[in-house]
């Protein structure tokens, strides 16, 4: 499969899997350690299937980056996605979930593996070598995502802190102040590293990238140790299971260090090799990341009745129109980029505008909704969508 020979896809798979794994592992530990009111066994099967899917996705990405045969791992990833889809469908059927949600879940689950297989049919063979531009593009995408998500999360946390009858401990207040500052600082450093890698990769770019990797790992470990210290010496709960769950969550967070480590190893492999050809082409990393959202956006066409009915008919129609239009824009931009068509510049720009509209609409709902659980669930997915489309549009504008 041609797509499985593209390092840009390998980087995207690693990042996406690493972002998903800690959440799934944390939910599994929560089910096993805490009493969640009799959570059915079928739910445990679904979560385990999710973890297997993310694990095989990670393994596929690493095999691509190592320039090894990733076909068997992708087959496992595809098969695990089918198993997860079946387990989810059975759970939904038992819980009497609307058929539209089940159809939408199918698109979300199998969509990206199918897209990878389809792209392999028409993708060119010119992107099989490692490129430092892929590292720079990934850094830009990660930085933009943080710069979008962190202010929104900070705004909703402020709402929670200033709400009536809300008390915040010293440890919670420190975490509230430190985490956004660290996140924004590393995001800015990622942008600086990306710019320097594009201009002078072997000297200044490599030095700044090393600073970025060390800073990200050090900040992650420092915040983890602070959190563990607060948990051990502060009263975070009377039950021992709660402390065990929180401590385990910090250890699970170490999975996130795979991203800076992978970035460093990939950049080192590129710089240790021969000089890159003078031809400049936009990196496909942002396009691959954006493609993961196309199936989920398209699924809104089937699940809109169940998900957005309380908002009213007009709002539901608007959400469906925006989601469907953005999904088609991403697919069109990806096709044009893979085929190196001149139209790619305008399609990526359309996808970026759509991503900004969606993040704006989502931010308005997030910051005005009274349901904090809905707010928290809507913020995180919006950042990578807008960031990846913006990065793709910027790269095509710069190189076309």
Give the Å distances, CA to CA, from 353 to 328, 350, 364, 365, 393. Answer: 13, 5, 17, 19, 9
pLDDT at 194: 92
Give the Å distances, CA to CA, from 289 to 17, 163, 272, 393, 394. Answer: 11, 36, 26, 13, 15
8 Å CB contact between 156 and 366: yes
Instruction: State pLDDT tens for residues 69-107.
Output: 888 999 999 998 888 888 777 776 666 555 555 566 666
Report the 10 Å Cβ neighbour count for 6: 27
Query: Residue 166, SS3?
Result: coil
Give the Å distances, CA to CA, from 246 to 19, 236, 239, 253. Answer: 19, 9, 11, 11
8 Å CB contact between 243 and 259: no
Single out the residue of 275, 390, 258, 398 nearest to residue 333, CA to CA: 390
CA atoms of 370 and 28, how far apart (whole Å): 28
DSSP for 130-149, written as a single string: --HHHHHHHHHHHHHHHHHH
Task: Map tokens 């430092």 to a residue.
Answer: 132
Report the 10 Å Cβ neighbour count for 353: 15
8 Å CB contact between 328 and 290: no
Two tokens, residue 330: 């991403």
Two tokens, residue 4: 């499985």
CA atoms of 243 and 233, how far apart (whole Å): 11
CA atoms of 168 and 162, how far apart (whole Å): 10
Is the sign of the CA dihedral 203, 209, 212, 216 positive or negative?
A: negative
Task: Name the CA dihedral angle for 41, 255, 18, 37, rounded to a multiple of 10 degrees.
Answer: 20
Angle (deg, nearest 10), helices 41-65 and 7-33: 150
Alpha-helix runs per DSSP H in 34-98: 41-65, 71-94
Single out the residue of 97, 86, 31 nearest to residue 53, CA to CA: 86
Instruction: State pLDDT tens for residues 142-163.
Output: 999 888 888 877 777 776 666 6
CA atoms of 46 and 357, how far apart (whole Å): 33
Instruction: Show the CA angle centred on residue 51, arms to residues 72 and 269, nearest 5°.
Output: 55
Single out the residue of 120, 95, 117, 93 nearest to residue 106, CA to CA: 93
Residue 175 CA, distance from chain mean position: 23
Who's near 28: CB < 8 A, 6+ residues apart?
44, 47, 48, 51
Q: Which mean pLDDT values do the consecutive 10-residue runs of the chain (400 residues) have?
A: 85 91 84 63 78 92 89 91 81 62 66 85 67 90 88 74 60 68 91 90 90 93 81 61 76 90 92 66 87 81 58 68 85 86 85 85 68 50 78 69
CA atoms of 50 and 85, how far apart (whole Å): 9
pLDDT at 102: 59
CA atoms of 118 and 9, how far apart (whole Å): 14
8 Å CB contact between 163 and 301: no
pLDDT at 327: 87
């Amino acid at each position: 499969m041609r797509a499985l020979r593209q390092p840009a896809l390998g980087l995207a798979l690693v990042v996406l899997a690493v972002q998903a794994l800690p959440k799934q592992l944390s939910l599994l530990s929560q089910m096993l350690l805490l009493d969640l009111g009799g959570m059915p066994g079928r739910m445990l099967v679904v979560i385990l299937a999710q973890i297997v899917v993310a694990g095989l996705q990670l393994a596929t990405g690493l095999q691509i980056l190592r320039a090894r045969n990733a076909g068997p791992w992708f087959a496992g990833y595809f098969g695990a996605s089918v198993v997860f889809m079946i387990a989810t469908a059975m759970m939904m059927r038992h819980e009497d979930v609307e058929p539209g949600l089940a159809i939408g879940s199918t698109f979300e689950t199998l969509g990206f593996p199918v897209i990878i297989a389809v792209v392999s049919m028409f993708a060119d063979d010119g992107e099989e070598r490692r490129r430092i531009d892929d590292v720079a593009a990934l850094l830009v995408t990660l930085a933009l995502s943080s710069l979008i998500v962190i202010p929104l999360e900070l705004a909703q946390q402020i709402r929670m802190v200033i709400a009536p009858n809300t008390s915040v401990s010293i440890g919670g207040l420190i975490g509230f102040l430190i985490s956004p500052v660290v996140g924004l600082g590393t995001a800015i450093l990622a942008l600086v590293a990306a710019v320097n890698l594009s201009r002078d990769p072997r000297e200044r770019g490599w030095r700044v990238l090393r600073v970025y990797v060390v800073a990200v790992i050090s900040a992650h470990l420092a915040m983890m140790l602070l959190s563990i210290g607060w948990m051990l010496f502060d009263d975070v709960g009377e039950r021992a299971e709660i402390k065990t769950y929180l401590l385990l969550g910090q250890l699970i967070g170490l999975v996130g260090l795979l991203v800076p480590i992978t970035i460093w190893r990939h950049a080192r492999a590129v710089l240790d090799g021969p000089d890159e050809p003078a031809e400049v082409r936009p990196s496909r990393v942002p396009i691959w990341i954006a493609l993961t959202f196309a199936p989920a956006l398209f699924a809104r066409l089937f699940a809109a009745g169940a998900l957005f009915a309380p908002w009213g008919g007009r709002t539901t129609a608007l959400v469906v129109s925006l989601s469907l239009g953005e999904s088609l824009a991403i697919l069109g931009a990806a096709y044009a980029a893979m085929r190196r068509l001149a139209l790619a510049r305008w399609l990526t720009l359309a996808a970026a505008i759509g991503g900004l509209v969606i993040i704006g609409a989502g931010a308005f709902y997030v910051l005005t909704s009274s349901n904090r659980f809905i707010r928290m669930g809507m913020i995180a997915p919006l950042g990578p969508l807008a960031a990846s489309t913006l990065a793709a549009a910027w790269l095509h504008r710069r190189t076309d």
